[in-house]
């Protein structure tokens, strides 16, 4: 085939194609390309709309937040000349009073309050109360006495720290959410320092990665021998075992997680069995712990490890091992130097799948994890649904994406991504 092709190619170069022939050939090629492209278009559009656009807007949101700038434009202009250390002068206070009155009338003061409150707890009531008070004041009075009204309303209005929080929140583009996501903040002079109020997120990222790693290792330890056994069992038994592996895989995720609740709870199957056997006298605290998350997720993600391993192992000719042994290798040595390297594509595919899925896992830790077993995605959901801090949620999510990309890069450098084989 190769030789025939080469001689044919040589022959055609001798006779140049006519203009028409080139044209038809080119047209035909273009038509085929167009047809191929048309087949891919739906997928491309879907990916663009359902995947790239949301991720892009999330990344954008984590750094761009114009809410405050749109709400109090006058005050922010007046604040430009402020030194940041003393009480702002009367122009600033008057501008703020005017802005607050407008916000009170359009009932938007709460949005400003919520934004400032994120960096200055307690600001919410100060801003809302001031806005309520200014609602009935007319514009002329604000110009003359607005500043005094504010200063008299609450001592926070003369606190430079409060005004610094307002000025910072007024920036359209900010890296503050990323700083918070890394447990950092800026001090009065703008230098980055460790966050005083709370240290959560770095610890949580570490815990999430640690749990994902534990789950991956457990999946390898449980899945590798099983896949090996399946690959070498007679077809009937292998099929039966395959069904047993796949059956839970087909069952709804929620059902499987709830089943673990029934198994692990204080007076659940596990504890009552152990107690009736007399092995323990007090029930173990199993549910709502980190271990519960790890156990349930290992069970749920195990098929992702077994399937690629099995398909790779099925393709390995058993004669390699026999050859190694007949040449004098011990079983362990033959396994480590012949069999294991040949299963690497399946092993790395399975490990990577399990690890990446578990890093972003949400539902199982939320249901069985209690407080100890929560992962970073649960905090992201918390900020999306309860604290309404979508910007921080976006920053946390972007960092998670970055961590995964970095790990993938590391993996590519160490093992080689081209090595992966899914089946």
Partner 1 sequence: MKRLTPIAALTALALLATPALAQDRMTAVSFGGAYGAAQKEHMVDPFMKESGTEILFEDYSGGIAEMKAQVEAGNVQWDAVDIEVIDLERACAEGLLEVLDHTDLPAGEDGTAAADDFYPDALGSECGVGVIYWATVFAYNSETIGDAKPATIADFFDTEKFPGKRAMRKRPQVNLEWALMADGVPKDEVYTVLATEEGQQRAFDKLATIKDDLVWFDSWSQAPQLLADGGATLVQSANGRFYAAIVDEGKPFEMIWDGNVFDLDVWAILAGAPNKDAAWEFIKFATSTVPLSGMQDVAYGPTRKSSEKYVEKDVLEKLPTAHLDEGLKADPVFWADYGESLGEKYNQWLLAQ
Binding interface with partner 1 (CB under 8 A): 106-111, 113-114, 117-118, 121-125, 128, 131, 197-200, 203-204, 207, 265-267, 288, 370-372, 379, 384-389
**Look-up of token digits 């939320």:** 366
From the CB of 293, what's the least distance to partner 1, in Å?
14
Closer of 114 and 179 to partner 1 (Cβ):
114
Nearer to partner 1, 97 or 334 (CB): 97
Give the angle subtended at the CA of 11 by the CAs of 9 and 17, to the nearest 5°: 85
Angle at 172 between CA 171 and CA 174, to 5 degrees: 70
* Minimal distance, residue 59 CB to partner 1, in Å: 20
Residue 348 Cβ vs partner 1, minimum distance, rounded to whole Å: 32
Residue 334 · residue 325 · CB < 8 Å: yes
Q: How far is the CB of 31 from partner 1 (least distance, A)?
A: 43
Provide, rounded to whole angstroms, the least separation between the CB of residue 383 and partner 1: 9
Tokens of 123: 């600001």
Of residues 18 and 106, the one with the C-beta less far from partner 1: 106
- What's the half-sphere exposure (Cβ side, CA atoms, 13 Å) at 257? 17
Query: Do residues 126 and 154 make contact, with C-beta atoms less than 8 angstroms apart?
Result: yes
Q: Is the Cβ of residue 308 or residue 369 nearer to partner 1 in the bound state?
A: 369
For the chain, counts of helices (H) and of strands (E): 22, 2
Nearer to partner 1, 81 or 385 (CB): 385
Q: Is 238 or 259 the residue whose CB approaches partner 1 more closely?
A: 259
In whole angstroms, the minimum distance from the beta carbon of 187 to partner 1 comes to 17
Min. distance of Cβ 372 from partner 1 in angstroms? 8
The nearest distance, CB 128 to partner 1, in angstroms, is 5
Nearer Cβ to partner 1 (184/384): 384
Least distance to partner 1, CB of residue 70, Å: 13
Minimum distance from residue 108 beta carbon to partner 1 (Å): 5
Q: Which is nearer to partner 1, 114 or 233 (CB)?
A: 114
User: Which residues have CB under 8 Å from 74's CB, separation 6+?
Assistant: 95, 96, 98, 99
Read off φ and ψ for residue 143, nearest 5 degrees.
Answer: -60, -35
Residue 173 in 3-state DSSP? strand
How far, in Å, are 210, 231, 250 from residue 353 at the CA level?
A: 16, 20, 18
Strands (E), 310-417: none
Q: Can you read off the two tokens belonging to residue 84?
A: 């940041």
Q: Which of 106, 103, 110, 98 is nearest to 74 (CA)?
A: 98
SS3 64: strand
Pick the closest to residue 81 from 69, 95, 71, 68 (CA basis).
95
Of 91 and 185, CB closest to partner 1 = 185
DSSP line for 174-212: -SHHHHHHTTEEE-TTS-EEE-SS---HHHHHHHHHHHH
**Closest to 90 (Cα-Cα) out of 48, 142, 45:** 142
Give whichever of 384 and 407 is closer to partner 1, judged by the CB atom. Answer: 384
CA gap 293, 270 in Å, rounded: 16
The C-alpha atoms of residue 90 and residue 87 are separated, in whole angstroms, by 9
Residue 351 backbone phi and psi in degrees, to 5? -60, -45
Nearer to partner 1, 6 or 107 (CB): 107
Q: Shortest approach of partner 1 to residue 134 CB, angstroms?
A: 14
Strand-strand pairing, 184-186 and 192-194: antiparallel
């Amino acid at each position: 085939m190769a030789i025939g092709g080469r001689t044919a190619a040589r022959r055609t170069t001798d006779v140049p194609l006519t203009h028409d022939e080139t044209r038809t050939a080119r047209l035909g090629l273009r038509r085929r390309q167009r047809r191929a492209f048309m087949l891919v278009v739906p997928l491309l559009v879907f990916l663009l709309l359902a995947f790239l656009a949301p991720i892009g807007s999330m990344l954008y949101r984590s750094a761009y937040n114009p809410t405050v700038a749109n709400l109090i434009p006058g005050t922010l202009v007046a604040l430009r000349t402020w030194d940041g250390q003393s009480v702002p002068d009367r122009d600033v206070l008057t501008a703020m009073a005017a802005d607050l009155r407008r916000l009170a009338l359009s009932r938007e003061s709460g949005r400003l309050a919520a934004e400032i409150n994120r960096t200055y707890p307690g600001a919410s009531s100060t801003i809302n109360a001031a806005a309520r008070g200014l609602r009935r004041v007319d514009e002329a009075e604000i110009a003359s006495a607005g500043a005094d009204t504010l200063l008299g309303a609450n001592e926070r209005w003369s606190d430079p720290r409060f005004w610094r929080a307002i000025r910072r929140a007024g920036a359209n583009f900010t890296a503050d959410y990323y700083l918070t996501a890394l447990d950092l903040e800026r001090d009065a002079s703008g230098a980055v320092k460790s966050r005083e109020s709370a240290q959560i997120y770095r610890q949580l990222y570490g815990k999430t990665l640690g749990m994902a790693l534990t789950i991956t290792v457990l999946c390898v330890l449980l899945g590798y021998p099983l896949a090996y056994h399946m690959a070498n069992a007679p077809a009937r038994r292998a099929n039966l075992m395959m069904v047993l592996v796949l059956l839970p895989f087909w069952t709804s995720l929620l059902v499987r997680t709830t089943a673990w609740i029934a198994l692990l709870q204080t007076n659940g199957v596990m504890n009552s069995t152990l107690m009736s056997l007399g092995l323990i006298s007090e029930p173990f605290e199993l549910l709502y712990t980190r271990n519960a998350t790890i156990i349930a997720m290992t069970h749920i993600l195990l098929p992702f490890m077994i399937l690629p391993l099995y398909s790779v192992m099925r393709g390995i000719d058993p004669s390699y091992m026999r050859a190694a042994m007949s040449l004098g290798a011990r079983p362990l040595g033959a396994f480590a130097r012949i069999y294991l390297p040949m299963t690497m594509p399946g092993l790395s595919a399975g490990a990577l799948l399990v690890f990446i899925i578990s890093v972003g896992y949400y539902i199982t830790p939320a249901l069985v994890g209690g407080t100890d077993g929560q992962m970073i995605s649960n905090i992201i959901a918390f900020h999306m649904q309860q604290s309404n801090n979508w910007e921080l949620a976006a920053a946390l999510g972007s960092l998670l994406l970055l961590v995964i990309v970095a790990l993938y890069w590391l993996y590519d450098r160490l093992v080689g991504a081209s090595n992966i084989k899914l089946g």
